[in-house]
Every structure is written in C-alpha cells, then in structure tokens.
C-alpha cells in the first residue's frame, strides 16, 4: 500500500467518523518552545489548553513534523528520522477513551477492501498506563484482545504532558509484532524492535502541577473537558504495509537512495558504511526540502542552522560516496516528485526551493575548500611535532568554526596516516550541546498565564473587529486588567489593559503595527498606546487612564488615531506592491520572509538565494510600483476558501497559519495575497513609493526599506535641496555631479598618496642619523630612540629595518618608539650577528614593556607592540640598555 494511499485511508476513516479534516500546519509556528512542529497536536494546542474554543468537536490531520534531537544518529540506525508525518485524530470534550480505541482498532484491523489497513488482529499488542484499568478493560471489550497482549507500563513510557504545568493524561500505545526473526518474545516491554509502536492514544484528563506524573507525582486535578490526542506514524505503518525492512525502503524515501546510487555508482545494501551515507542523504533531503518549503533559509542561527546542517550533511555524505559534482538540486527534484501528491505546493514553489539548495551547496563547497586548507595546516603541525593523532579541539574547531564535518575529518585524517582524538571531540560537542540546552531552557517561556483573558473569552466571546470599515465605534468594556489582574475600576494614571466587546482598533500582527487612539467613557478617558492579541480572538487595548476612573461594563466611544491608521495602511498596501514587483523581477524565489508596516514607511524582507539585487532591478521595481499607483487600481478585500484562494493564485506567506476561510487582498490584477491587515481603497492613495535601500540580513535573506506617501515626498524634497546645494558648490548641472565629485575624490586620493609618500620618505631619511648614533653596549650596537610622533606601524617597521640594515655585520639591536596622543607604538629589530649571540627581538620586549604600560611580541628578528604611557620611553630605553648589557656579559 503506497504512503499516499495510507494517508487517504486515514483521513477518509475519520471524516466518516464525524471529524473535520484539518490541513497540516506549517513546520514553523509562533511557539517559543519549538524550533519546528514536532507532533500532530501542536496546531491544536490552544484548543487542548482551553485558551480558545475549538471550532469543531472532532478533528483529524496529517501533520508534517521535524525532530532534530538525534541528527547525528540518522542513518546509523533505521529508526531515527528528522522529517516524518504524524496522522492524528482529536476530540475536544467529545468522545473519550472508548471512542479513541474503537476508531483506532477499526482502522488498523479493518480489511483493506473496506478501507482499513488490514493488519492481522492476532499480531496486535497494546500497552496502558500502570493503573489505567479502564483502558485495559476497553481493549478487552472493544478489540477482544487477551489480557496477555495488553501490558502495563509506567509513566515514563505511558504518560503524556507538555513538560510544564497544564493538561496531561495516560497513554495507550498500539504495537505490531513483526515476528520472531526480529527479536525475542515477551511483547513491547521485552523488545521494541520486534514489537513496533505504530500509534499512541493520549487520554488527556488530568491537570499536572510542577512535578509530572511521568515520574510518579500525582495530578493536582482533573480537566473539566476530557480530550483525545492521538498520533500514528505514517512512515512506520508504510514500511509494515509495504513489507520492507525499514522506512528508508518505503516508496517516498527509496527514490532518493536510488538517485544517489545512480550518481555514485555504488549500491545500497552492499556496504554497511555506505548504507549509512545513503540513509543520511534520503532522510535529510526530505527534511531539507520540506523545511525550505515552509520558508526557512540556511543560516547560522536557530532553524536556519538546523537546515544548514542537514543540507551540508547530504553534500558530505555524497562526497564520501565518491560524488563530487553538485547533488542537492537533483535530490530536491526527487523529493518534490515523491511528496507532491500530498504537498502540491512543492511543485508550485520549486523554483525557490531549488535556488536555496543550490546556493547553499555552492557556499558549502567553498567552505570545504577553506576547511581543507585549515585541515592540511593542522596535519602538518601534528606530523612536524612527531605526533600521529589530530587533537580533539582542532577537530572541533574545524567542525564548529569552519563547518567541516567530523566524518570528513576522520576520513581525510586516515588518508594522511593520522587518527583523530574522537573522545576529545565528542566531549567538546557534548559541552556545546549542554550549553545549547541550558540556553534553550533559559529562553523557554512555555505558556504564560492567560487565565484572565480566557475568563473574558469564556464569558463574552471573541472581540468583534470593525476596523476594516470603521475607525470609531460604540463599545462596552467587558474586561479591565491592571498588572495582569482583573479589576472593577482603575483611576487616573493607571496602566491598564482594556477588553471591549467590539473594536475598530487593529491588533499588531502580520507585520502591521497596532493602532493607537482613545477610549472615551462617561467621565473618563483611556489613551490607547498599543493593541495586542495574546489569546486568539481577543483584542487587548493597552494604555493609561488619562482622566477620571475607567470602569468595568462601562460604555465607551472608541476612536482610532486616523492619520496613523491611514499612514500604516498605505505602507501595508505598498508592501504588497513591492512584494509583487520583486516576484515579477526575480521570480517566485523572491518570497516574503518578514515585513514591518509603520506610518509612512515599510520594511520588506524576502528570500534571494542569488544574493544582492542589482540597482537596475530595484529601479525597475520602483518604476513599476509607481506606475500601479498612477493607474489608481481598486483595492479589494474579500473572504473565500483557502483552496479557492490558491486556485486564484493568491500568495500565502510562509509560517502563517490559515483556516479554511481566508481573506484575500487584491490590488487590481497586479497583486493578490492572503492578508488580515488594513489597506487603502485605491492604489492612487499611496501617492509615491520610494525604495531607499537593499541589504543583506542573513544568508539568502535580503531587506528592502521604503518610504510611502508624504514621507516619500519629503525625502525627495530634501534630496532635491541637497543636489541644488552641491550643484551650486561645484558649479555644475545636477546630471554632471557624479563625474565632477568623482574627479574631486580621485584628486584627493592622489594627494593623500603623495603626502603619505613624502611622510614615509621623511621618516626613512632619519635612518642614517639613527644608525650613526648607535651606542656601544658591551660590543652590541644599540639604537634605542623615539621616532617622530604619529608614525604609522608600517612606516615604523620600515624605519627599524632600514636602521638595522645600516648596522651591517655588527651585532645590533634597534628599538624605535612613536607616540600618538596617549598611545605608543614600538618596533624591535635585531641583526643576524646579534641573533647568533642569543639576542631575540621578541624576548627583549618584556624587559622594557612595563615602563610604557605595554605589551607585544614577535619573532627573533622583528617584534612589535604598543603601550599606554608615552612618558615612559626614557625609562624603557634605560631598561632595554640594561637588558642588552646583562645578556652580553652574562
């Protein structure tokens, strides 16, 4: 049974059972505890936590997931994967244990002819939480399982919670017996390779406290509504139903290995070492394409760093298989073709995905080149010292600083006849992991206390947003908070959070800044400074009571600051136009990666794997956008289904979560995007869009900043005044200014170079006098003197070398000092004859450095440094003289 058929049957089974089919969420959600979505329940957290009323009592989904904790183990075993698909069914206060068990049993053991998976009931085992007698009896009653095939396990295996205080509950897991050839008898508690877990049913019924029931601590209460959260591993079910050895040989993964076989000329299954490399390629290629598909680009931080590791491990594995030409683009094509039936967006967005992987591969190949040079230097040093092992800290530096994979280091070291201190490398890697975990734990915010907001939501429902059409409204205060606590009233000067039954105020979101304004009631006013939505569906107005006493349940007149809203709306509409213009100029790879819509200005971030955007392209985009303004297109917003919006070609933003019903914003036929923000009514209302700059903000991510409307006009007016002033100053027409100014700059550079030459010649002219003034210190010619102030370091070195040369065959030491303000530079040089007597420039520095508050060092023939006490030069000269005398007579 093909994987896409498994997915179809799962979805159909639960839709027939009254569940709403919910599309997979993006791998990137706004959750501070997660880099990537790692379980099917993540997108349903607000419903399971009771933060938001669920829009349906039952749901089912096939969620794409990425787990990155075991990247280093991928390929070494057949169990570890980074990307996988989690099929799940969810009940929000509807059915509970009996319903979950019945649904799962009917699908798992139902005949394939009737739409089930057709697993042999006699080979199914289950586990239940230690004291969950109810689940055990339900398995006996509903499935007819004998008690010997239902095993009890402790909380570490069969209790689920989120790792923080909140909902939790016992689990029941479904296992399939693969047969005695895969391990010993005794059920899952004896051997989880033979008895393979395929489905986990979580009975969410408890409220856990600070300590988890996973470790024997009792729950602190029961949930008012009991929920069901289940997860079935699609890939695991696929390899069982396809009768292959592991997930790497299933229909959606094996094609990547086949492509790697074609490119390398090697065969999967012929060599255990090569097999690891084949599996790494297959797993990481899927993960990389899916992650890029959801808008992540390679970088050195967070998600981007994980993606970079995955892609670079593919390239490294391919090289170890003997493939040295580019590979990522080819593997991405295979993943696209395999996964497209379930994720058609991979086809429509493949140009961008392909551009990202190719750019990253080019960058990594350069890294391999530079890393190889560092590696060769390290190998030479080890051999010169008579060693036969590359130190662990050097292997770690190659990995951490230069991105050089440890496996490649091991292989290259072996070719060079060296081993690698792997324990030392692993120790440093583990220390880094622990630091990362500690950092992540420090940043992990979990779920803040939103109980006060939820109380308002439960009592009064969601906020009715009127802001698309109205900038004022008559509203009622349904929630009033001070310092996060609900209060009946708040007096003048109090910082408050006000929740209204209806509001024209836009809450910050989608890159658009929040509205500001005022709430006026009978005898009081609240100045609104910010609006946020900490709980979906609620607009929270944050500000200060400007006069009187604000009261709960009071009627207010809500007024948005009109000029600010209009300026922000112009900026938001301009962002849509700039996005459309960039995609027209650069292709679909120029996808929005972030934005800021503020009064009169915008910031637009977008993916650009090819690097900087040429000025000519920016000028063309600016002209095209302003032409759209002149055409004065209608700006239309309407609601439709997500599928219909995609059919119309509406652009969806990466990482955004969309429901079945979406809002589309059209600007004529030029731009069409899914958007919840506010906009102008016609494009001509923008007035003017002026692109100010384009720059890099990370690997593959560029940023354009622009001004809109009156702000753009004012900017151009200032530029006009500046150009007029320059024209007057240079006595040239505006179009002649670049050439005229360029000529002046070039003449200045020529003058600076000539001045520098004159200064250097003047410095070097003193070399003869300094050499002639050398004093004899026990047979050593010593030149220790202050050079002219402000001599640059290069000139000071040149002068010292010239003086040394004039000393000829004599044993000589030269020390020159040059002050620049309260700083001091020095150079020490020795002749060959002095060095043969044991005088080394670098070793002489400590003898006088203390007198000038300095430090430095270098080689035996030349050393240099600096100090912070120019007044100490005479004492330094005396100290050096004494050191030379002692060394000459000693």
Environment class of residue 543 by beta-carbon count within 10 Å: exposed (0-12), middle (13-18) or buried (19+)?
buried
CA dist 330 to 258, 274, 333, 474, 843, Å? 12, 19, 5, 60, 58
Q: Please state, as a whole number, how many other Cβ atoms lie within 10 Å of the Cβ of residue 423.
A: 9
Question: Nearest to residue 107, comparing CAs of 246, 240, 14?
Answer: 14
Residues with Cβ within 8 Å of 438's Cβ and at least 6 positions away in sequence, in order, are none
Question: Nearest to residue 60, comparing CAs of 95, 31, 110, 35?
Answer: 95
Q: Which residue has the tokens 């000459």?
A: 888
Is 576 assigned to a binding site? Answer: yes
Q: Two tokens at 867?
A: 């100090």
Is 679 assigned to a binding site? Answer: yes
Is 675 assigned to a binding site? Answer: yes
Instruction: Find out whether 260 and 321 touch, Cβ atoms under 8 Å.
Output: yes
Instruction: Find out whether 849 and 825 touch, Cβ atoms under 8 Å.
Output: no
- CA–CA dist 254, 242 (Å, integer): 12
Is 572 assigned to a binding site? Answer: yes
Q: Which of left, alpha, beta for 338 (phi over 0: left; psi -120 to 50: alpha)?
A: alpha
* DSSP SS3 for 580: helix
Instruction: Find out whether 849 and 865 touch, Cβ atoms under 8 Å.
Output: yes
Question: Nearest to residue 471, comparing CAs of 343, 336, 562?
Answer: 562
Instruction: Find out whether 67 and 82 touch, Cβ atoms under 8 Å.
Output: yes
- CA–CA dist 638, 660 (Å, integer): 14
Instruction: Find out whether 508 and 531 touch, Cβ atoms under 8 Å.
Output: yes
Residues with Cβ within 8 Å of 782's Cβ and at least 6 positions away in sequence, in order, are 774, 775, 776, 812, 813, 815, 880, 881, 884
Residues with Cβ within 8 Å of 228's Cβ and at least 6 positions away in sequence, in order, are 89, 90, 91, 94, 95, 96, 97, 99, 100, 201, 202, 203, 204
- CA–CA dist 331, 325 (Å, integer): 12
Nearest-Å Rg of the Cα atoms of the chain is 36
DSSP sequence for 651-690: B--TT----SEEEEEEETTTEEEE--S---SBGGGG--EE
Residue-wise over 808-828: b if at least 16 C-beta within 10 A, else e? eeebbbbbbbbbeeeebbbbb
In angstroms, how far is CA 200 from the centroid of its own chain? 30
Instruction: Find out whether 858 and 837 touch, Cβ atoms under 8 Å.
Output: no
Q: Two tokens at 316?
A: 């490294």
Binding site, annotated residues: 572, 576, 675, 679
Binding site, annotated residues for Zn(2+): 572, 576, 675, 679
């Amino acid at each position: 049974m093909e994987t896409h058929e498994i997915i179809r049957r799962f979805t159909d089974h639960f839709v027939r059972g009254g569940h709403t089919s919910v599309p997979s969420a993006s791998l990137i959600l706004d959750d501070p505890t997660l880099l990537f979505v790692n379980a099917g329940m993540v997108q349903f957290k607000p419903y399971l936590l009771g933060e938001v009323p669920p829009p349906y009592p039952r749901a089912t989904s096939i969620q794409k997931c990425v787990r990155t904790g075991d990247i280093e183990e991928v390929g070494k075993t057949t169990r570890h994967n980074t990307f996988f698909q989690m099929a799940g069914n969810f009940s929000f206060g509807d059915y509970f244990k009996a319903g979950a068990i019945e649904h799962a049993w009917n699908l798992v053991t139902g005949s394939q002819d009737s739409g089930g998976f057709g697993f042999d009931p006699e080979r199914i085992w289950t586990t239940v939480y230690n004291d969950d007698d109810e689940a055990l009896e339900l398995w006996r009653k509903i499935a007819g399982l004998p008690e010997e095939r239902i095993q009890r396990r402790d909380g570490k295996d069969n209790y689920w919670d989120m790792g923080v205080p909140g909902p939790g509950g016992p689990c029941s897991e479904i296992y399939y017996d693969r047969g005695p050839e895969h391990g010993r008898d005794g059920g899952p508690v004896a051997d989880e390779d033979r008895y393979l877990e395929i489905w986990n049913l979580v009975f969410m019924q408890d409220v856990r406290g600070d300590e988890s029931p996973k470790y024997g601590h009792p729950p602190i209460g029961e949930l008012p509504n009991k929920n069901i959260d289940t997860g079935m591993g699609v890939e695991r079910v696929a390899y069982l139903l396809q009768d292959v050895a592991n997930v790497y040989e299933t229909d959606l993964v094996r094609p990547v290995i086949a492509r790697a076989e074609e490119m390398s000329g090697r065969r999967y299954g012929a060599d255990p070492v090569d097999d690891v490399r084949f599996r790494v390629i297959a797993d990481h290629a899927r993960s990389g394409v899916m992650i890029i598909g959801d808008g992540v680009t390679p970088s050195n931080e967070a998600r981007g760093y994980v993606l970079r590791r995955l892609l670079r491990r593919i390239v490294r594995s391919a090289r170890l298989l003997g493939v040295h030409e580019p590979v990522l683009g080819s593997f991405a094509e295979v993943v696209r073709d395999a996964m497209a039936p379930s994720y058609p967006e991979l086809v429509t967005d493949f140009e961008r995905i392909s551009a990202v992987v190719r750019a990253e591969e080019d960058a990594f190949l350069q890294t391999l080149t530079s890393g190889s040079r560092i590696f060769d230097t390290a190998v030479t040093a080890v051999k010169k010292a008579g060693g036969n092992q590359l130190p662990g800290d050097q292997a770690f530096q190659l990995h951490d600083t230069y991105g050089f994979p440890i496996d490649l280091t091991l292989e290259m070291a072996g070719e060079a006849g060296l081993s690698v201190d792997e324990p030392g490398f692993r120790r440093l890697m583990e220390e880094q992991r622990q630091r990362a975990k500690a950092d992540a734990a420090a940043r992990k915010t979990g779920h803040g206390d939103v109980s006060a907001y939820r109380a308002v939501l439960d009592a009064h429902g969601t906020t009715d947003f009127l802001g698309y059409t109205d900038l004022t409204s008559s509203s009622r205060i349904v929630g009033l908070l001070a310092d996060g606590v609900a209060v009946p009233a708040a007096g003048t000067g109090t910082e408050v959070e006000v929740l209204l039954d209806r509001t024209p105020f836009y809450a910050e979101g989608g890159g658009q800044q929040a509205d500001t304004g005022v709430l006026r009631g009978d005898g009081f006013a609240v100045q609104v400074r910010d609006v946020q939505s900490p709980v979906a569906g609620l607009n929270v107005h944050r500000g200060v009571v400007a006069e009187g006493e604000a009261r709960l349940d009071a009627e207010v007149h809500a007024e948005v600051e009109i000029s600010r809203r209009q300026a922000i709306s112009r900026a938001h509409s301009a962002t849509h136009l700039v996005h459309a213009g960039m995609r027209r100029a650069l292709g679909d790879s120029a996808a929005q990666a972030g934005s800021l819509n503020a009064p009169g200005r915008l910031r637009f971030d977008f993916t650009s794997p090819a690097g900087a955007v040429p000025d000519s392209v920016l000028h063309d985009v600016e002209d095209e956008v302003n032409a759209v303004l002149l055409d004065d297109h209608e700006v239309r917003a309407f609601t439709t289904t997500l599928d219909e919006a995609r059919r119309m070609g509406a652009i969806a933003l990466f990482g955004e979560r969309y429901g079945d019903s979406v809002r589309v914003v059209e600007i004529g036929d030029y731009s069409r995007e899914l958007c919840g923000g506010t906009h102008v009514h016609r494009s001509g209302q923008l007035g003017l869009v002026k692109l100010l700059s384009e720059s890099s903000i990370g690997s593959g991510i560029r940023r354009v900043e622009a001004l809109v409307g009156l702000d753009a006009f004012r900017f151009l007016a200032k530029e006009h005044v500046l150009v007029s002033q320059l024209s007057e100053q240079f006595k040239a027409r505006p179009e002649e200014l670049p050439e005229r100014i360029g000529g002046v700059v070039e003449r200045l550079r020529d003058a600076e170079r000539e001045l520098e030459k004159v200064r250097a010649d003047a410095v070097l002219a003193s070399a003869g006098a300094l050499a002639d003034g050398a004093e004899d210190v026990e047979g050593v010619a010593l030149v220790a003197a202050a050079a002219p102030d402000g001599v640059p370091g290069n000139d000071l070195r040149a002068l010292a070398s010239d003086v040394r040369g004039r000393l000829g065959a004599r044993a000589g030491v030269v020390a020159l000092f040059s002050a620049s303000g309260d700083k001091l530079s020095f150079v020490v040089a020795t002749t060959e004859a002095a060095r043969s007597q044991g005088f080394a420039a670098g070793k002489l520095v400590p003898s006088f450095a203390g007198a000038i508050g300095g430090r430095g060092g270098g080689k035996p023939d030349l050393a240099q440094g600096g100090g912070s006490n120019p007044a100490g030069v005479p004492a330094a000269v005396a100290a050096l003289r004494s050191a030379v005398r002692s060394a000459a007579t000693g």
